[in-house]
């Protein structure tokens, strides 16, 4: 590799070369120092205009009583919008629902994805067909997917209850049962995302060296034990990534429960049984028109996530130090 | 270890395939009949004769030609812009040293967690101030701020771009932009492709903000156009399903036509941690 | 070790991005659509379907005014439409020249957005005396500006299935059916019990408890607010009585436990699983469409126990409308008695212009789908008896939570009427920020 241009030559040339080297070194330093800012600048310019400004407005609004009917009229209320959340049964209910729907959708989704990836990892006829099919639900919009699931989960004429009826079960009230509705909403999420996650796991599985399996096989490990002791540990970073992404998605879950509720909009069911935080925020802001309170909910959600993230980080650091 | 797949494997995969495709196929079945047909017990399992008619109604009622064109422009621009900005920023966060790096990175990760529903009001006030209401840039520009994209590219480049490669290029005398051009972009290409697809699909399907920012007669995207379907007090489920199908079909066709490349892209670009 | 890659492709990608970025604003600039031929484009923003277009009113107006082109946008659901309208109003942007407002939102719009709207009460050709006084008052501010012109109203009747009534041993003639419950909603409940005793298998007396609740609250003058604008729904005996009667329908197993305006409700029409529904005039078209050919002449219309109103709409013209004067003229024309009569004839939207009620097109109207029921006479009589309901800005929130939270719990989750009421009250109090 050419690491310099210092071929032998006359003194003037050497001086030139030295000068050039100095200039290049300076340019290099300048480059190293400032170019990072140039790379992040486009993102942060847009972020400042379309991300930060709304964010700061939201923070400011959360300290006021302000209505959508007149967003310019702000009445200072300090932290009242936050303090009232503590006693707000609907906020806690939404938080609880967000957690349970989050678990109901994320855990099965990732487990199924892992299983499907494992199956796809074998030598398989038509593997490309299965992979493409796995991805098609992902291409469907939340709106289109929810529309069709509302019909499928209909209490009186839906296909799901018809099938359950053949087995002598039901009819289940998928819209207004407590657990049934959470399950139904989760199903939409699971349906849309499982295939995508399966492909990500599959990619990671393919990069696991065969020797690991061979030595495990030599130790007499069964297929299942190989899966548990070789595959899963090797996938840990990937699994972590998908958990992070799914968790963020789950905390912001909004479109599915909104559209699943048909004409009743943002209530999240007659007992608010599937009203998520995102939906409660929407109800406060866009139905009840209280922008200040909605802003406070948004920031509370944000703080909860930051807390979760920090906790996860601390646990991780602790484990790394002790383990 | 790759084991030859047994019958069970095929059986399970076929069940998975059926479950994945069924809601889509049934959307088409629902779109092919009438309201009355949807009310039968058992529900219809096969296509009725009204599919072309319902698709036609949905197409004209929702002004779908314009909407599709707009959506391609919006989703394409958003995808291209997001990938470009995210790769540059992700590269800087992954491999370069600069002041405030960690603070800025935390800021990026933080914004990933901000629920998007709330920015709508201040954002619309901003858009109105700029007189961008009902113009495509009102949905394009805000969507370019993808904290997820930056995070995603950073995670990928952390592993995929060896420091030695960068240093070699530097020693070689390559300036910043040339390093980006000849080293970073090639290394990042698989992840860029995945991010492009993710962003494209997301922009295609976004409805919450576009409904506020655009109108049906101005420059609607597909999702905005679809809100006009249903004819008010008398929504026809079959037509609504036909509209949903029309909005999804182009993406599905792309996925089927380029399935191999898209899947390959995802598998290459999958973040390794 | 320079990595040589296919630069052209990368460059092409960047170029594409740049072009696309530059092209986006250009592509968006098509928004201004005033024709080159000097014609004025008036935009009308609606929710649902008002039927102006379908009834040929736009075409007629454009024939009368060759220099005008009318363009309509319609968002299917008011839940999507109203937040958009508010956002656009408060930022004075993205508004159509004429916007529609649902009756349940008109008090809020009049109270908070009047300064952004044209005074249509003084517009040329608009006569206060043409309209029902209460409809006119609903869109009039305290200082006397009328910012919305009424389109239709929703006088109520009871639609019933003759075939199911016959099988349950009830009278089928519409006059006799009306007499079953005339004057008293409790008599409607008692009729339900009679129906239940001999009900055809798989059918219920009515669709939902929430529908009954909406009908009863629509027939009392004071419901959620009192004259000073105080929220009184909680201690208003009329609301409590409406609640108790409606809840009895659920506890007595007289409903099909449906939620209105959902796919399941539509499907139930097609399968004829309930025998009655309280139907404002605008619902007739809905029933005809959903019950389909199989329901023709099986459905009929009888008078409601007490006259009431449910729904209806207004047209407003924002001050920032691009073609204000033309928009005002069009709004006035669309809501004039003659046009309202045409709309009733062709679409079934009942006129809020009382001057239209006497026109033969309205008073003599019969509905072929509903056994040729004299719908003109039935709804006109109902409209004349509608009490002047006191509206308030949060009517939507109160009505919706009473129905979709409280009553739905009673109807679908088997909660007691008391528990449902408490749940609704807690939700409403939280929503109203009391």
Which B residues, 241 through 270, put their C-beta within 8 Å of a C-beta on chain C?
A: none
Provide the number of structural domains found in chain B: 1
pLDDT at B144 over 60: yes
Chain centroid, CA C134 distance in Å: 17
A76 part of a folded domain: no
% residues pLDDT > 70 (chain B): 92
**Range in A5-19, A67-81, B165-179, B235-249 with the lowest mean pLDDT:** A5-19
Q: Is the minimum CB–CB distance between B9 and chain A shorter than 8 Å?
A: yes
Chain C touched by B70 (CB under 8 Å): yes
HEC secondary structure over chain C: CCCCCCHHHHHHHHHHHHHHHHHHHHHHHHHCCCCCCCCEEEEEEEECCCCCCCCCHHHHHHHHCCCEEEEEEEECCHHHHHHHHHHHHHCCCCCCCEEEEEHHHHHHHHHHHHHHECCCCCCCCCCHHHCCHHHHHHCECCCCCECEEEEEEEEEEEEEEHHHHHHCCCCCCHHHHHHHHCCCHHHHHHHHHHHHHCCCCCCEEECCHHHHHHHHHCCCCCCCECCCCCECCCCCHHHHHHHHHHHHHHHCCCECCCCCCCHHHHHHHHHCCEEEEEEECCHHHHHHHHHCHHHCCCEEEEECCCCCEEEEEEEECECCCCCHHHHHHHHHHHCCHHHHHHHHHHHCCEECCHHHHCCHHHHCCCECCCCCECHHHHHHHHHHHCCCCCCCCCHHHHHHHHHHHHHHHHHHHCCCHHHHHHHHHHHHHHHHCC
What CATH number does the domain containing A273 carry? 1.10.3720.10
Please check the confidence at residue C2 and state whether its pLDDT lies above 50.
Answer: no
Q: How far apart are CA A119 and CA A109, in angstroms?
A: 15
In a domain, B1, yes or no: no
Q: Cβ B232–C20 below 8 Å, yes or no?
A: no
B97 vs C248: which has the higher pLDDT:
C248
Interface of C with B in 149-188 (CB under 8 A): none
Put simply, the answer to whether C3 touches B165 (Cβ < 8 Å) is yes
Q: C2 and B55 in contact (C-beta within 8 Å)?
A: no
**Are A24 and A107 in the same domain?**
no
Q: Do domains C40-153+312-363 and C154-310+373-432 have the same CATH topology?
A: yes
List the domain range (segments joined by +) for residue A197: 82-322
The first and second tokens of residue C143, run together, are 């200082």
Identify whether residues A216 and A114 lie together within a single domain: yes
Q: What is the CATH classification number for the domain harbouring B153?
A: 1.10.3720.10
Q: Over its length of 323 residues, how does chain A's per-residue pLDDT go in tens digits?
A: 334 444 444 455 566 777 777 877 777 777 777 888 888 888 998 888 888 888 888 899 899 998 888 888 889 999 999 999 999 999 999 999 999 999 999 999 999 999 999 888 878 888 889 988 998 999 888 888 998 999 999 988 889 999 999 999 878 999 888 899 999 999 999 999 999 899 889 888 888 888 888 888 888 888 788 888 888 888 888 898 888 888 888 888 888 998 898 777 789 999 999 999 989 988 998 889 998 999 899 888 888 888 887 888 888 788 888 75
- Domain presence at residue A2: no
Nearest Cα residue to C48 out of C69, C77, C24, C68: C77
Using the beta-carbon criterion (under 8 Å), do B171 and A1 form an inter-chain contact? yes
Does the pLDDT of residue C10 top 80, yes or no?
no
A132 and B260 within 8 Å at the Cβ level: the answer is yes
Closest CA to B212 of C148, C91, C106, A55: C91
- Are the CB atoms for C328 and C123 separated by under 8 Å? yes
In a domain, A8, yes or no: no
Q: Is A210 inside any structural domain?
A: yes
A56 and A91 inside one domain? no
Q: Tell me, yes or no, if A64 comes closer than 8 A to chain C by beta carbon.
A: no
| pLDDT score, position C19 | 39
* Tokens describing residue B22: 């069924």
**Considering the domain boundaries, does residue A22 fall inside one?**
yes
Helix (H, G, I), strand (E, B) or coil at B270: coil
Which of C365, C178, C348, C369 shows the shortest CA–CA distance to C291? C369
Sign for the pseudo-dihedral over CA of C402, B237, A105, B115: negative
Side-chain half-sphere exposure of C245, counting CA atoms within 13 A: 23
Which chain B residue shows the shortest CA-CA distance from A247? B113
As a whole number, the mean pLDDT across chain C is 88
> For the residues B33-41, what does the mean pLDDT come to?
80
* Whether residue A153 is found in the same domain as residue A300: yes
**What percent of chain C has pLDDT above 90?**
75
Torsion sign across C-alpha atoms C384, C385, C389, C395: negative
- Test B137 with C31 for CB contact under 8 angstroms: no
- List, in order, residues 6 or more apart from A105 with CB less than 8 Å away: A185, A186, A189, A190, A246, A250, A253
How far from each other are the two terminal CA atoms of chain B, in whole angstroms? 21
Token representation of residue B126: 């901003």
Give the pLDDT confidence of C51-61 residue by residue, as tens digits. 898 889 999 99
CB contact under 8 A, B237 and A151: yes
Nearest CA in chain A to B257: A132
- State the Cα–Cα distance between residues C216 and C240, nearest whole angstrom: 11
Determine the distance in angstroms separating the CA of B51 from the nearest CA of chain A, rounded to an integer.
Answer: 16
Closest A-chain CA to B246:
A144
Low-confidence winner among A151-155, A269-273, B93-97, B167-171 (lowest mean pLDDT): B167-171
Euclidean distance between the first and the last CA atom of chain C, given in angstroms as a whole number: 71
Residues 115-134 of chain A with CB under 8 A from chain C are: none
Instruction: Inform me whether the pLDDT recorded for B245 exceeds 60.
Output: yes
Give SS3 for A167. coil
Average pLDDT over residues C342-359: 91
Q: What is the CATH number of domain C40-153+312-363?
A: 3.40.190.10
Tell me whether residues B272 and A37 touch, CB distance under 8 A.
no
Comparing alpha-carbon positions, the chain C residue that sits nearest to A153 is: C264
Count the domains in chain A.
2
Residue A99 lies in a domain: yes
Residue C423 in contact with partner chain A when CB distance is under 8 A = yes
CA distances from A19 to A6, A22, B175 (A): 12, 5, 18
Report CA dihedral (C336, C338, C340, C346) to the nearest 10 degrees. Answer: -150
pLDDT digits 0-9 by tens, B127-140: 877 888 788 888 89
Q: Verify that A56 and A182 share a domain, yes or no.
A: no
Per the listing, tokens 């061979």 go with A214
pLDDT of B163 > 70? The answer is: yes
CATH superfamily of the C154-310+373-432 domain: Periplasmic binding protein-like II (3.40.190.10)
Distance between start and end Cα atoms, chain A: 42
Secondary structure of residue A177 in the 3-state scheme: coil
**Under 8 Å CB-to-CB from A244, ≥6 apart: which residues?**
none
Residue position matching structure tokens 């495990």: A216
Q: Which of residues 214-233 of B touch C (CB under 8 A)?
A: 215-219, 227-233
C339 closest CA partner among C320, C361, C324, C368? C361
Q: Is A199 domain-assigned? A: yes
Question: Is A157 in the same domain as A290?
Answer: yes
In a domain, B2, yes or no: no
Cα angle C284, C285, C291; round to 5: 85
Sign of the four-CA dihedral C342, C344, C347, C349? positive
Mutant choice from C9, C14, C17 vs B, greatest count of B C-beta within 10 A:
C17
Which residue range is the domain that position B227 belongs to? 7-269
Residues of C in contact with A159 (CB under 8 A): none
CB contact B137 to A (< 8 Å): no
Backbone angles phi, psi at C38, to 5 degrees: 80, 5
Candidates A270, A271, A296, partner chain C, best to mutate (most C CBs within 10 A): A270
What are φ and ψ of residue A181, in 5° steps? -70, -40
pLDDT of res. B2: 57
- Is any Cβ of chain B less than 8 angstroms from the Cβ of A221? no
The answer to whether residues A136 and A166 belong to one domain is yes
Q: Chains meeting C at 3+ CB pairs closer than 8 A?
A: A, B
**Dist. CA C349–CA C344, nearest whole Å:** 5
By the 8 A CB rule, do C108 and C139 touch?
A: no
Question: Which string of b and e fits C309-345 if b means at least 16 CB within 10 Å?
Answer: bbbbbbbbbbebbbbeebbbbbbbbbbbbebbbbbbb
Q: Which of B113, B125, B150 is facing A248, going by the closest CB pair?
A: B113
Report CA A122 to chain centroid distance, whole Å.
Answer: 29
**Residues B43/A160, Cβ–Cβ less than 8 Å:** no
Mean pLDDT score across all residues of chain B: 83
Min Cα–Cα distance to chain C from A262, Å: 6
Beta bridge partners of C100: C315
Q: Are A247 and A153 in contact (CB under 8 A)?
A: no
Kindly report the nearest CA distance between residue B267 and chain C, in angstroms: 21
Question: Domain spans of chain C?
Answer: 40-153+312-363, 154-310+373-432
pLDDT confidence of residue C115: 95
Please provide residue C206's backbone torsions phi and psi, each rounded to the nearest 5 degrees: -140, 170
What's the DSSP call for residue A65?
A: E
Whether C123 contacts chain A with CB within 8 A: no
- Rounded alpha-carbon distances, angstroms, from residue C280 to C154, C177, C283: 5, 17, 5
Helices B7-31 and B51-61: crossing angle, nearest 10°?
A: 60
Q: Look up residue A264 and give its DSSP letter.
A: G
Beta strand spans in A166-304 (E): none
Task: Name the residue among C302, C227, C211, C305 with its Cα closest to residue C261.
Answer: C211
Average pLDDT over residues C156-180: 96
The answer for residues whose C-beta is within 8 angstroms of residue C58's C-beta and 6 or more apart is C52, C70, C72
pLDDT tens sequence across C100-144: 999 999 999 999 999 999 999 999 989 999 999 999 999 999 999
User: Looking at residue B219, what DSSP letter applies?
Assistant: S
Q: Mutating which of B28, B80, B121, B248 best tests the A interface, going by the most A Cβ atoms within 10 A?
A: B121
Beta bridge partners of C280: C156
Those of residues 153-212 in B touching chain C at CB distance below 8 A are 165, 168-169, 172, 174, 181-183, 185-187, 211-212
């Amino acid at each position: 590799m050419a690491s310099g241009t210092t071929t032998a030559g006359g003194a003037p040339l050497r001086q030139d070369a030295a000068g050039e080297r100095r200039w290049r070194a300076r340019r290099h330093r300048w480059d190293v120092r400032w170019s990072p800012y140039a790379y992040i600048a486009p993102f942060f310019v847009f972020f400042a205009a379309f991300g930060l400004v709304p964010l700061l407005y939201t923070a400011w609004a959360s300290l006021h009583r302000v209505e959508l009917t007149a967003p310019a009229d702000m009445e200072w209320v300090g932290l009242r919008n936050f303090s009232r959340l503590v006693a707000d049964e609907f906020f806690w209910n939404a938080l609880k629902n967000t957690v349970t729907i989050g678990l109901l959708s994320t855990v099965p989704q990732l487990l199924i994805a892992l299983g499907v990836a494992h199956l796809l990892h074998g030598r398989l006829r038509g593997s490309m067909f299965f992979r493409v099919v796995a991805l098609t639900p992902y291409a469907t919009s939340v709106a289109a997917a929810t529309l069709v699931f509302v019909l499928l989960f209909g209490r009186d004429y839906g296909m799901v209850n018809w099938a359950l009826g053949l087995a002598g079960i039901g009819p289940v009230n998928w819209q207004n049962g407590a657990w049934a509705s959470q399950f139904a909403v989760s199903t939409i999420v699971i349906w849309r995302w499982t295939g995508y996650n399966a492909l990500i796991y599959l990619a990671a599985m393919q990069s696991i060296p065969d020797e690991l399996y061979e030595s495990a096989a030599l130790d007499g490990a069964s297929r299942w034990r190989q899966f548990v002791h070789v595959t899963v540990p090797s996938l840990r970073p990937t699994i972590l990534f998908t958990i992070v992404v799914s968790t963020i998605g789950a905390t912001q879950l909004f479109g599915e429960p909104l559209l699943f509720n048909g004409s009743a909009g943002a209530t999240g069911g007659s007992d608010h049984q599937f009203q998520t935080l995102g939906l409660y925020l929407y109800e406060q802001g866009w139905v009840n028109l209280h922008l200040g309170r909605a802003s406070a909910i948004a920031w509370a959600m944000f703080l909860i996530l930051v807390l979760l993230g920090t906790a996860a980080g601390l646990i991780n650091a602790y484990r790394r130090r002790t383990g | 270890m790759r084991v030859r797949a047994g019958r069970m494997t095929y059986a399970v995969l076929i069940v998975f395939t059926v479950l994945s495709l069924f809601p889509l196929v049934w959307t088409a079945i629902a779109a092919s009949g009438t309201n009355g047909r949807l009310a039968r017990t058992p529900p219809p399992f096969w296509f009725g004769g009204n599919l072309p008619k319902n698709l036609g109604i949905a197409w004209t009622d929702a002004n779908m030609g314009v909407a599709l064109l707009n959506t391609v422009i919006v989703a394409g621009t958003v995808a291209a812009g997001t990938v470009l900005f995210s790769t540059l920023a992700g590269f800087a966060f992954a491999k370069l040293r600069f002041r405030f790096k960690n603070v800025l990175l935390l800021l990026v990760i933080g914004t990933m967690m901000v629920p998007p529903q709330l920015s709508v009001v201040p954002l619309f006030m901003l858009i109105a101030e700029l007189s961008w209401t009902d113009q495509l840039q009102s949905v394009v520009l805000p969507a370019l701020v993808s904290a997820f994209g930056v995070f995603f590219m950073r995670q990928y480049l952390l592993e995929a771009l060896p420091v030695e490669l960068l240093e070699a290029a530097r020693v070689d005398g390559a300036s910043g932009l040339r390093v980006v051009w000849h080293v970073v972009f090639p290394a990042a290409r698989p992840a860029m492709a995945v991010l492009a697809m993710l962003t494209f699909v997301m922009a295609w399907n976004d409805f919450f903000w576009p409904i506020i920012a655009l109108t049906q007669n101005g420059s609607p995207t597909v999702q905005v156009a679809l809100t006009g379907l249903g004819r008010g007090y008398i929504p026809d489920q079959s037509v609504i399903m036909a509209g949903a199908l029309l909005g999804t079909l182009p993406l599905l066709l792309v996925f089927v036509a380029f399935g191999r490349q898209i899947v390959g892209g995802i598998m290459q670009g999958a973040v390794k941690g | 070790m320079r990595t040589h890659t296919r630069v052209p492709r990368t460059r092409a990608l960047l170029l594409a991005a740049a072009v696309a970025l530059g092209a986006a604003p250009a592509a968006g600039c098509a928004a201004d659509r005033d024709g080159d031929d000097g014609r004025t484009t008036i935009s009308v923003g609606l929710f649902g379907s008002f039927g102006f277009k379908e009834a040929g009113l736009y075409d007629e107006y454009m024939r009368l005014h060759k220099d005008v082109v009318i363009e309509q946008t319609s968002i299917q659901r008011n839940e999507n439409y109203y937040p958009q309208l508010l956002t656009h109003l408060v930022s004075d942007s993205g508004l159509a020249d004429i916007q529609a407002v649902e009756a349940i939102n008109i008090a809020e719009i009049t109270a908070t957005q009047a300064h952004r709207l044209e005074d249509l009460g003084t517009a040329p050709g608009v006569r206060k005396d043409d309209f029902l006084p209460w409809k006119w008052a609903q869109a009039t501010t305290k200082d006397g500006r009328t910012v919305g012109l009424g389109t239709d109203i929703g006088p109520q009747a009871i639609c019933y299935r003759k075939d199911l009534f016959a099988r349950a041993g009830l009278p089928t003639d519409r006059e006799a059916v009306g007499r079953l419950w005339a004057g008293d909603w409790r008599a409607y409940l008692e009729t339900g019990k009679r129906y239940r005793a001999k009900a055809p298998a798989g059918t219920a007396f009515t669709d939902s408890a929430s529908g009954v609740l909406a009908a009863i609250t629509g027939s009392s003058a004071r419901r959620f607010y009192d004259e000073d604008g105080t929220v009184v729904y909680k201690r208003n005996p009329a609301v409590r009585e409406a609640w108790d009667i409606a809840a009895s329908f659920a506890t007595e197993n007289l409903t099909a436990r449906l939620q209105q305006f959902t796919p399941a409700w539509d499907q139930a029409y097609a399968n004829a699983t309930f025998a009655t529904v309280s139907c404002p005039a605008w619902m007739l078209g809905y029933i005809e469409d959903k019950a389909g050919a199989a329901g023709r002449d099986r459905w009929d219309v009888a008078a409601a126990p007490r006259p009431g109103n449910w729904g209806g709409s207004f047209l407003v013209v924002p001050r920032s409308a691009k073609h204000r004067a033309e928009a005002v003229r069009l709004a006035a024309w669309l809501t004039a008695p003659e046009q309202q009569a045409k709309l009733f004839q062709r679409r079934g939207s009942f006129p809020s212009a009382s001057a239209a009620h006497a026109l033969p097109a309205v008073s003599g109207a019969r509905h072929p789908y509903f056994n040729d029921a004299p719908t003109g006479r039935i709804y006109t009589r109902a409209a004349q008896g509608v009490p002047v309901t006191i509206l308030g800005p949060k009517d939507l929130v109160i009505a919706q939570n009473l129905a979709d939270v409280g009553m739905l719990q009673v109807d679908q989750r088997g909660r007691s009427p008391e528990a449902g009421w408490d749940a609704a009250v807690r939700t409403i109090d939280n929503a109203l920020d009391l």
